[in-house]
Structure 1
């Protein structure tokens, strides 16, 4: 009997295969390690990330677009660039989290090294999402990531607040997954395919059931909006960010945003690109509401994790602006231009990367100030940080300036790139609105700076943190300034990746 199923090309997926084997091996090895040797698990997890980075860097250097597994998986410049930053985000998170997790018993007793292993499996889900070229594979990656993150939020089973946050996240996450699945099923019914390329061809030919397709689009956008945490699907963000252990909050707020952005690009800019005028209006509403509610509500927060959660909502509003500015045609705007499309999507990618790098440092510094039995989650906990540690006060100031969009930090260039793309489409009113809300948002970022430099310290004890954490925090702060002063290489790389993957 002949084999009708040809062996798929495994080379593009070597990073995922390697990670799956490595994570499983680390889980088995960890079972035989005593609590005193838990650092072995930590080092093995970092080595697994380095191994993945090597495979992905080779693919990225080739610049090729390769499809495999019956077109369900794609390795292209977008996927490889986002994966490299995903490895970086997870690796930095593990470095920042090690002491925090140890002090809170998250690496001892029955838990062991599950924190590291589940984080790796969550990253595996993110990698599958980033390279998904079929609605089914994207959904499988999404669920692998989501289930891992649910478990991580609830990792401290004796902590009532974390357990409550996990329940909220799980219930609302299940609802969002239902929205997404329902939308996928309607799109499948209208087009007869789950393959993104086939869906685009059917829609372009005009043979799809338009009414069913539009209903499916609404549900898909709702599911994507939840994963990005934009209004009105933002209810889980502040509660989960505040309730989860800070190490887990960083795993939630960092790398998953890269994966969520990837599936927005895959589904909307690739599969549903011929319905651009429909989803552009939806993203416009999501963007404006997120900028308004995120920035205005953050002003009232005294818990810095909750403040950064509302900040995230506003930041994702900017990402939505970049996505809607790159649509195939803009009502009332100039004719479509492929270079403008690549610039808009590339600017949005650069913005997401900027947000992730800044978020890593912000939550990392919160963990640095925390100690056993004490969570540095209130704004008052940052009082007088400049006297306790001038250098790390400078780093936090850089991070806040970047989030606010103050030059020369990286965030200024990111905001400028997105706003430039919006103005190019002729929607100047939208850019002006975004600038106004950004000015409002600058208040709560600068308030953190004021508290650090001008308020009297309520705790004068020295900051104690591992050397690797201190070094990485310093590199994090310097990188934000460096990439702000010399943004050309990364921004050009993002635009080039979009141009090669989407436009060509």
Structure 2
């Protein structure tokens, strides 16, 4: 049979990715002709491009389908996650502009690196083969390493980037080794073919070993315990807007990677890999919450709380089925919005020479600015899972999925550590409302755009908590 070249119509499902790639290259060239004062143009165009691509995905432009000989798959799940990734990344850039500009860190490559990282995430979300999974993952990882090290004069940022790079390379090697074992056992890199051959392979031990290595690689990208060692140093060392970006949108891409590799590729072996995810969930809940209790740096506290939130997300993945995966996706989207708001609070309160990243920096905030204190209260309450905020419904969804899947023990562990985790979020609220101010007074920045975005971000957690059903229904349709 002769293979025909794909036409433009055949590539229409790739339209959002093509628009994003073309815009990223165009902005890279445009930045060569701009000085520092004109660089706001690159920033505005990057935010507009991400918003446009998000709209293209959400409205279904290009249609769904499979292209590149099955390597790229655009389906309902991909559209939901790509919309979330684009919008959260655009918000991260809005937060980042005043923070990085006043510290002299905003270069044109920041926007371009974010756009290429988003492109990598979108390819990862739509991966139909092991090659596309690795391509998207490495594009995201390499851009993330560079973003963390964007402050070249900061020893802490350089150290964080080096740790991220070394441990990320180790995790990528584990994932690649697992993929090679899976390929060796099944004779294919196509995820659907791997699933079809999974129960008839001649060497099942090789296949199971490969799946175990892939689970380890997925756990690292999520930041699940015991593969979380990079999170606290990277979150603390990177500039806060970069931490906001790598702590929110990539979690959606990691969720997609887990679904593509484990459910689409190794679905018939679910009885073997689901107990691994359940164990990782319990370990993440315990280590994340207990370690967060003793932190005094807010960014490190949020890093360890990320580990605990990944534990909750793994509840849904371990439960499996339509309800489990829909609940896990709902949690991933909710956490991306909550994480952006949490780090956005630090951005709003920080200024040159004062990072506002210690819990004690928030003391007495209510006395100086009740409105901002109220917004931070919304964020912390949602992260703690207080009703009626969005975080409550996302926790309830994965707990329900775990109980329905017969994993009552895991749900009980999650509830116990959810109560433990509420303590360190309440500690921030106590500092704002009941402690006397100490040290340098905290005053929100004068940048009205960032304050409006933070207000919408924080109040959105309450609005989505009251109107969570449409978002949950959107996630359920992705796995219908």
TM-score of the two chains, using structure 2 as the length reference:
0.97
Q: Does 1:300 align with 2:294?
A: yes
Instruction: Note the residue ranges of structure 2 that are not aligned, 5 or more in a row.
Output: none
Q: Does 1:10 align with 2:11?
A: yes
- What is the CA-CA distance between 1:225 and the residue it aligns to? 0.5
Q: Does 1:164 align with 2:159?
A: yes
Residue 402 of structure 1: aligned partner:
382
Q: Does 1:73 align with 2:72?
A: yes
Counterpart contact for 2:148–2:238, Cα < 8 Å? yes
Residue 472 of structure 2: aligned partner:
491
- RMSD over aligned CA atoms reads 1.3
Counterpart contact for 1:409–1:485, Cα < 8 Å? yes
- What is the CA-CA distance between 1:207 and the residue it aligns to? 3.1
- What is the CA-CA distance between 1:170 and the residue it aligns to? 0.1
Residue 260 of structure 2: aligned partner:
266
- The CA distance in 2 between the partners of 1:411 and 1:145, in whole Å, is 27
Residue 287 of structure 1: aligned partner:
281
Which among 254, 258, 273 is matched to residue 248 of structure 2? 254
Which among 114, 118, 126 is matched to residue 113 of structure 2? 118
Which among 319, 322, 326 is matched to residue 346 of structure 1? 326
Q: Does 1:357 align with 2:337?
A: yes
Please state whether the residue corresponding to 2:150 is helix, strand or coil: coil
- The CA distance in 2 between the partners of 1:465 and 1:173, in whole Å, is 37
Residue 147 of structure 2: aligned partner:
152
Residue 309 of structure 1: aligned partner:
303
- What is the CA-CA distance between 1:485 and the residue it aligns to? 1.1
Counterpart contact for 1:388–1:463, Cα < 8 Å? no
Counterpart contact for 2:338–2:382, Cα < 8 Å? yes
Residues 419 and 208 from structure 1, CA distance in 2 versus in 1: closer, same or farther, beyond 3 angstroms?
Answer: farther
Counterpart contact for 1:409–1:484, Cα < 8 Å? yes
Residue 460 of structure 2: aligned partner:
479
For residues 176-195 of structure 1, the aligned pairs below 5 Å read 176-195=171-190
Residue 470 of structure 1: aligned partner:
451
Please state whether the residue corresponding to 2:60 is helix, strand or coil: helix
Counterpart contact for 1:383–1:456, Cα < 8 Å? yes
Stretches of 4+ aligned residues off by more than 4 angstroms? none
Residue 85 of structure 1: aligned partner:
84
Deviation track 1:8-47 (CA, whole Å, cap 9, x = no partner) reads: 6210011111111101111111111111111111111012
Deviation track 1:472-504 (CA, whole Å, cap 9, x = no partner) reads: 1111111100111111100011011111xxxxx
Counterpart contact for 1:302–1:378, Cα < 8 Å? yes
Q: Does 1:431 align with 2:396?
A: no
- The CA distance in 1 between the partners of 2:443 and 2:201, in whole Å, is 68
Counterpart contact for 1:85–1:353, Cα < 8 Å? yes
Q: Does 1:32 align with 2:27?
A: no
TM-score of the two chains, using structure 1 as the length reference:
0.93
Counterpart contact for 1:258–1:352, Cα < 8 Å? yes
Residue 217 of structure 1: aligned partner:
211
